[in-house]
């Protein structure tokens, strides 16, 4: 489940005269994605400058996200910075995939947007409901995926090729990537539900920024997993 969101994220935010709204979260999301797009354009256009900075940027965005999670009231200031630097990373990453598999970038962007709106439509229509059982299954699945990724990373650091099916294009590797994309997509349902509960709980206005920031984390994960899946299908 999204590390930035939980059932009590918004209910513990306190109360204020001005409270968050769904439209407010949507507006902040559009603003953050505009900033991310600018960063992605720069990362894509100037890889000679941005590529060598990827490790420091990854560490910086990780620290920034952790600070934002624990100090939600500063999200109006930290989330735009986070969006810009994540954009730089995605720009470079997408360029790397695009050079190996021409056309993959457009397909990944289109599929990510399509999944986002399909999940939003399913949530609004009540087709997929965020029940307690749904929360549990998605949370356990998400945790299992990230534990596998951590093990894979540690193995790679010690000179191993890592867990074969995570990076491989075998049938099982492709099925694993499809599973991860599905879980990332279902995390969007949980995000929508928690944000909706925040609106109903009259969370402070600044939590609109936090909601947009948290939603961005899931969408970025979904986009990266779609990129990985499409690359496996092209091998």
Identify the pLDDT of residue 10.
61
Residue 12 in this model has a pLDDT that exceeds 80: no
Residue 226 in this model has a pLDDT that exceeds 80: yes
Identify the pLDDT of residue 5.
59
Identify the pLDDT of residue 182.
96
Quick one: pLDDT band at residue 7, thresholds 50, 70, 90?
low
Average pLDDT value for residue range 135-143: 93
* pLDDT tens, residue by residue, 77-105: 999 999 999 999 999 999 999 999 999 99
Q: Which domain holds residue 134?
A: 22-234
More confident residue, 142 or 17: 142
Within-domain flag for 17:
no
Q: Distance between CA atoms of 206 and 78, rounded to whole angstroms?
A: 12
Within-domain flag for 32:
yes
Within-domain flag for 58:
yes
Instruction: Please give the tally of structural domains in the chain.
Output: 1
Residue 6 in this model has a pLDDT that exceeds 80: no
Token couple for 5: 């969101």
Within-domain flag for 137:
yes
Average pLDDT value for residue range 118-136: 92
Hey, how many other C-beta atoms are within 10 angstroms of the C-beta on 5?
24
Average pLDDT value for residue range 105-115: 96
Token couple for 194: 């928690």
Residue 14 in this model has a pLDDT that exceeds 90: no
Percent over 90 (pLDDT), the chain: 68
Average pLDDT value for residue range 38-54: 92
Within-domain flag for 108:
yes
Within-domain flag for 8:
no
Whole-number average pLDDT of the chain: 89
Average pLDDT value for residue range 209-229: 95
Identify the pLDDT of residue 164.
75
Residue 16 in this model has a pLDDT that exceeds 80: no
Place of tokens 């999940």: 119
* pLDDT tens, residue by residue, 153-185: 888 777 677 787 788 888 888 999 999 999 999
Within-domain flag for 35:
yes
Within-domain flag for 7:
no
Identify the pLDDT of residue 157.
78
Residue 11 in this model has a pLDDT that exceeds 60: no
Residue 211 in this model has a pLDDT that exceeds 60: yes
């Amino acid at each position: 489940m999204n590390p930035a969101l939980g059932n009590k994220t918004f209910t513990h935010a306190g109360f204020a005269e001005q409270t968050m709204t769904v439209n407010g979260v949507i507006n902040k999301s559009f603003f953050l994605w505009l900033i991310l797009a600018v960063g992605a354009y720069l990362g894509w256009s100037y890889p000679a400058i941005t590529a060598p900075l990827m490790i420091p940027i990854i560490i910086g965005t990780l620290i920034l996200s952790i600070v934002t999670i624990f100090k939600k009231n500063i999200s109006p200031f930290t989330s735009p910075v986070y969006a810009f630097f994540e954009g730089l990373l995605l720009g470079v990453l997408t360029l790397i995939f695009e050079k190996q598999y021409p056309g993959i970038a457009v397909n990944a962007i289109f599929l990510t947007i399509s999944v986002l709106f399909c999940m939003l439509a399913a949530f609004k229509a009540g087709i997929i409901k965020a029940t307690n059982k749904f929360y549990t299954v998605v949370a356990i699945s998400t945790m299992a995926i990230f534990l596998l990724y951590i093990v894979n990373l540690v193995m790679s650091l010690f000179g191993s090729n890592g867990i074969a099916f995570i990076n491989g294009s075998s049938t099982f590797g492709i099925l694993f990537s499809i599973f991860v994309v599905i879980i990332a997509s279902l995390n969007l349902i949980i995000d929508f539900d928690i944000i909706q509960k925040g609106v109903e709980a009259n969370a402070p206005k600044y939590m609109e920024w936090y909601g947009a920031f948290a939603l961005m984390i899931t969408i970025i994960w979904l986009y990266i997993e779609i990129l990985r899946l499409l690359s496996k299908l092209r091998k």
